[in-house]
Structure 1
């Protein structure tokens, strides 16, 4: 349950000192999942529809990009470079934001997932990267993508270009501010709807969404431990350390006087399976369940695995009947088309 200290409506964070480029149409809705709630023993499941952001196919990375692109434009950048895996949602949305704003975009993508079939290498997000006008650098899975990106940025700078480099997933402290703002948005919506959430469930890849939410709740005077993340990228220990560091660095940008305790970052690794981007049976069931019961489409890499964790927790009694649980549906629909054979 969210424990309030000095936080009262309206829930607002002053982020005005940070450059921000609007990329969202407005707050994303929180919607109930009535059929799935009955399927899960009467736990009241809700979903925050981050997939409904319109630009570039939508998804949670647009919140980070508002601050990242804002910083890039404030610095006078004409080119943005970012890194990710071959089917990176963040890369696709970076390309979309660049296209809207007239920036050149280069994507440094590694073959981090052990697949060489054409459906994975040429469909889904990678198809959209091309349509959006980005230049793609295709690197092996063992490559240091960020080092390549920095070297490429230096090369372009030597030609007179002004280059901004985004980290993996856009999950720098500046990028994480997008989800600190989202924490206030969630509290405002919950208050308006008369709902108190006992748990907010998210996937954790590069850790930025989790870190930003934790920082936002802490800055509001609320308990960051409300957020539970299912790691889809690394083991729980590494994910915890990375997320905690980012959450603390993000909070320092908002309110340096506040702190986040070690135990306030909750990570579950039960849905990781064999590793990042590798399908699990639980993920397949969760994607089919959400689609067949509620008509909503999860992605197979992030939200599919995290929702599988939530379903298993609800069915096993970890959440009580009548308890209100919010799932952040992060988007990533194009990835489904790169995973056709997994279903």
Structure 2
């Protein structure tokens, strides 16, 4: 799916708040490349700058662009307790002089005290965010409705709220950030064979895949499942990609064969650390000095290792892994990591 229009021309039709400090580095992982017998590179989107960085900064540029255009003074958003998205949204709101309301879902049961007090929770409190709780972790419509109720209260108080929705029924504005991110990567390296990204809400995976195809890059993109199994995630990605194509005004969406998901690192579930994930996290740290987070990027690297083992990534291939950030969450997982 190449196009006569450039990515910048496609994105120019949308309002955008400048939150990125610039392009993020693309770095070779030389020691792991030798160890794994591939040519491995890492796109350092943990270094996007704002509020300790991460992939959500790219996505929030488009949400906050619309919020500013609508003269909003308050932004409301939902995420898990250790959500990088809500922490980044609170940082963006602070930068732009807005109030932030963060609704935290109970997606992960049985966690210790650090999970509720440290990491992203601590940072969001330092940023002055208002916190709400939502008792369910798999009810996107219910969580969105709860934000609308709070937004109605804020309007009654004379404020102008803007909601960043969870549900698939809303335009995937955040995915535009990774259309831009893929274009940025293609300008740094356009001859790689495989890309590996986390696949959760679908915004990063969908935007990245669409952006690569618009840039003329045909590499396989593996979405590593961090929340749902691969069948459920593939269905979700079909919806995200179709909505994104409509948002961009593309004549056609991507074919089903471009949607590749893998769930071999998902167990024991969203936000939980299995042995495979723990081993991948410590391997990256001790081999390359790069920290991964337990929810997204450690599972992404574990997925890369699993794909190598299965032969779906082949020896000698040039592979790009997108590091989507989330490192502050490590401090909320001290008890679960218990690294020796």
In 2, distance between residues paired with 1:146 and 1:281?
Answer: 34
Alignment partner of 1:181 is 2:176: no
Q: What do the CA deviations read for 1:93-112 (whole angstroms, capped 9, x no partner)?
A: 00000001000000010111
2:154 to 139, 150, 156: 156
Q: What do the CA deviations read for 1:15-72 (whole angstroms, capped 9, x no partner)?
A: 11100001111111110001011111x1011000000112111000000000000000
- Structure 2: which 5+ runs fail to align? none
In 2, distance between residues paired with 1:47 and 1:169?
Answer: 30
In 2, distance between residues paired with 1:160 and 1:124?
Answer: 33
Offset at residue 316 of structure 1 (A): 4.7
Partner of 1:165: 163
1:219 to 200, 214, 223: 214
C-alpha contact (below 8 Å) 1:84/1:145 kept by paired residues: no
RMSD: 2.1
- Structure 1: which 5+ runs fail to align? none
Alignment partner of 1:61 is 2:56: yes
Offset at residue 235 of structure 1 (A): 1.6
Partner of 1:269: 263
Partner of 2:113: 118
2:78 to 76, 83, 87: 83
Offset at residue 315 of structure 1 (A): 4.3
Partner of 1:23: 19
**CA, structure 1 residues 226+12, in 2 after alignment: closer, same or farther (shift >3 Å)?**
farther
Offset at residue 159 of structure 1 (A): 2.0
TM-score by length of 1: 0.92
Offset at residue 247 of structure 1 (A): 1.5
Which range is displaced more, 60-69 or 136-145?
A: 136-145
Partner of 2:275: 281
TM-score by length of 2: 0.92
Q: What do the CA deviations read for 1:235-268 (whole angstroms, capped 9, x no partner)?
A: 2122112122112211222232132112211111
Alignment partner of 1:300 is 2:294: yes
Partner of 2:128: 133
Partner of 2:189: 190
C-alpha contact (below 8 Å) 2:3/2:214 kept by paired residues: no
